[in-house]
Structures are given as C-alpha cells and as structure tokens.
Structure 1
Amino acid sequence: MQPQPRKVSPVLKAALEYGPLILFFVVYSRLKAETVMLGGTGYSGLMVATMIFVPVTVLATLILWRLTGKLSVMQIATVVLLVVFGGLSLWLNDPRFFKMKPTLLYLLFASVLGVSLALRRNWLARLMGEAMPMREEGWRILTGRMALMFAGLAVLNEVVWRTMSEGTWVNFKIFGMTAILFIFFMAQVGLLRRYALHPDSPRDGENPDGQA
C-alpha cells in the first residue's frame, strides 16, 4: 500500500513554487541597469538575480519535497535543468545559457509527451489521473495538445530571447509564459468535462456492469 501524500497549506505551497520567481523578478528589477562586482568580476543584474534564483529554487523544492513527500517529474526536470544551465551561465558569466533553459525544458516535455502518444502509453494520466479522472481518449487528446503547446513555447522562447531586449525576455518568462499556461489549461475545461470519469462510469475496457 503506497503512503498517502501529505497535505500542505495551499498558501505555503504557492509561496514555495512561485516565491523564487517573484524574488528573481524583484532582484532583476532593482539591478538591471547595474554591474555588480563580486570577486573582481562584474556581473549584470540578470546574473545576480540568477545567482540568487538558482539556490533559492533548489531550497524551495527540497522544502516542498520534505513537506509533501513527493515531487513530480516536471518539478525534478525543472530543477535539474535550472542548476545545469543556471550554473553554466554563472560560471561563464554568460546569460545565454540561462535564457536557453526554458527552451530545452519545454522541448523535453514536448518530446516525452510525443513519445507517449507514439507508444500509446498514457504517461500523462499516470501523473494527473488522480486529480483529473478521464477516459483514455480524453487523455490522448490532452497529451497531443500539451505536446504542441510546449513545443510552441520552446520556439517562442527562442524568438523572444534572440530578437528582443533582455527586459522583454524577463517579462515574457515570468508573466508571458505563466499567462499562456494559465489560458491553455483554462481552455481545456470543456475537454475535461466531456471525457470526465464519474464514480459510476465504466472505465475503458470495462463493461457497464464493471466486469472487464
């Protein structure tokens, strides 16, 4: 019998998940026009914000893991890529690696979802099935839509950081991507309702009397 995940206050959970990003934005906003000297090396405001953002995010994720007893695959992948590419940016004092991190993260998500569709494996349902019980067809549709959405975000991130100002990219990363994800999931409400599994509904592969 698997242990039940521990309950955490929604306010505390939101603070741990979004607090580091808010702190990053505040630090960047204050230092974006400054050059900070550390150990004889000059760092831009973005690099200083990254220097704070990486360890704070790791710490917040560890606290969340300690409190809930589990982390999602997406949370683990996000932290690993943040440490790798944030660390590269700080080591080389080059913000391009940090700016590329969302691209690679979203390409990873899109690829995993695409492979799950190709192999007819319902990996998304395994991650989210308890929170959103749906029929298999609904999960296939949602998987395809999410794969396209993540691929689109990866392309959009590349376009923004390569063609626009640093400040525009920071605003896009914090507010633009958050808004796109929110709008996307709100647009899936109809799909969730259409394919929702109710307690008395037969699951895929079962007869109405509940027998396989």
Structure 2
Amino acid sequence: MRQLLEFVPIALFFIVYQMNGDTVTLGSWSHTVDGIFSATAVLMAATALQVLLTWALTRQLERRALWLLLAVCLFGGATLVFRNEAFIQWKPTIFNWVLALVFGASQFVGDRNLMERTLGSQLQLPRPVWTRLNLLWVANFLIVGGLNLVVAYGFSEETWVSYKLYSAIGFTLVLTVITALIVSPHLKDQEATDN
C-alpha cells in the first residue's frame, strides 16, 4: 500500500502537467496551469502531504521519504525560483544516483549491507543473496538515473513527463518481480526448516 502511495505525487505531477493552459477555479481563487511549473508546485505539495499523512497514520517516517521530500523541495524550489525545468528534470537522476551510492557503499560498511539492514528482521537469507539483492538495487538506481537524463535531454519535455510517470511504475514492478524471484527459493527453504 505504501508503494502505491508513493506514486500519488508523480501521478498528480503528470495530471497537472497535462492541464497546461487550463484555468482551475476553486471558489474565488483561480489559477491558469503553467505546465511544468504548476506541476512542480503540485509535486512539492503532494510529496509534503504524503510524508505528513504517513507520519500521522503510522507515527513513523522512513529516511528515504524524508530524503525524497528534501530533494523534491530543493530541486522543485530551484525550478520555480529560476523558472528553469532542468532542476526538476535532474532530481530523479541525482536522487537515484545518491541511493545507488548509499546502497553500494553499504556493501563495505559494517556487517550487513543496506538491504539486509532494512529487511533482515523480516527475512533470513544467506549472505550471497543479500549481496545479490543489494547490487540489484544499486544497478536499478544507476539505470533509472541514467535513463532519466537520456529522456530529459533526448526528447521533448512532454515525453519526459510521461516517461517519469510510466517508468516509475514500470521499474518498480520489474524490480519487485526480480527481487521476489531471487528471494522466493529461500523462503521455501526457510518454510521447510521451520516445519
């Protein structure tokens, strides 16, 4: 459920971007949607609201959610202040590459990598499997960040906005399936041992 909640700000970004030139009226307030800039403002507000709602419902906040909020506000704010969409277009790349760096560095810091630290209380997996999972996520973050730049600079802004929505869903689904394929044989082994 939390994964689906993470897509709401991106979906709202996409929807508002598609309304470019439309006038939105709420009571006495009226605003003409200004493409990427209005979409960026909505992305910032929706991300902040998502973090606040998560905290209100669970009384917990993941570091990743806080870092994402910081990145969205920093790059979104720069986009709005300087009226330059390049800032918001670089946000997914920088965010994903920083995650790749953190996950990759975790292989060399401490006894357990970041995947094992995150999921180790829920799953008992052999060390090589944790390493494989961690490196899979590193590769995902590197690829997603690189492809974002290819689309941002090789295609139109409209294509990039669509790519941002559909790739977020697509890469998450693919990563989830591959992770499940890597983990599932070990879950069967674990169930057999428990019985």
- Using the size of structure 2 for normalisation, the TM-score is 0.84
Q: Which has the higher helix share?
A: 2
Alpha carbons 1:103, 1:154 under 8 Å: kept: yes
Is it true that 1:80 corresponds to 2:70 in the alignment?
yes
Q: Provide, for residues 86-119 of structure 1, a one-character-per-residue CA deviation record: whole Å limited to 9, x for no partner.
A: 1110111111000100000100110011101133
Q: Provide, for residues 31-65 of structure 1, a one-character-per-residue CA deviation record: whole Å limited to 9, x for no partner.
A: 1xx398xxxxx984111111122012101211111
Q: Identity over the aligned pairs, expressed in percent?
A: 26
Instruction: Give the deviation of 1:131 after TM superposition.
Output: 4.1
User: Which runs of structure 2 are paired with 1:145-160 in the superposition (5 Å)?
Assistant: 145-160=136-151
SS in 1 for 2:78: helix
Q: Provide, for residues 104-158 of structure 1, a one-character-per-residue CA deviation record: whole Å limited to 9, x for no partner.
A: 0100110011101133532222212344442222111100111011111111111
Q: Which residue of 1 aligns with 2:82?
A: 92
Unaligned runs of at least 5 residues, structure 1: 1-9, 37-41, 203-212
User: Which runs of structure 2 are paired with 1:27-176 in the superposition (5 Å)?
Assistant: 27-31=16-20, 34=21, 44-119=34-109, 121-176=112-167
In the alignment, the residues of structure 1 paired with residue 193 and residue 70 of structure 2 have an alpha-carbon distance, to the nearest angstrom, of: 40
If you compute each CA radius of gyration, which structure gives the higher value, 1 or 2? 1
Change in Cα spacing, 1:58 to 1:144, as seen in structure 2 (3 Å) is: same
CA RMSD of aligned residues (A): 2.4
Q: Which residue of 2 aligns with 1:26?
A: 15
Change in Cα spacing, 1:106 to 1:26, as seen in structure 2 (3 Å) is: same
In the alignment, the residues of structure 1 paired with residue 123 and residue 76 of structure 2 have an alpha-carbon distance, to the nearest angstrom, of: 33
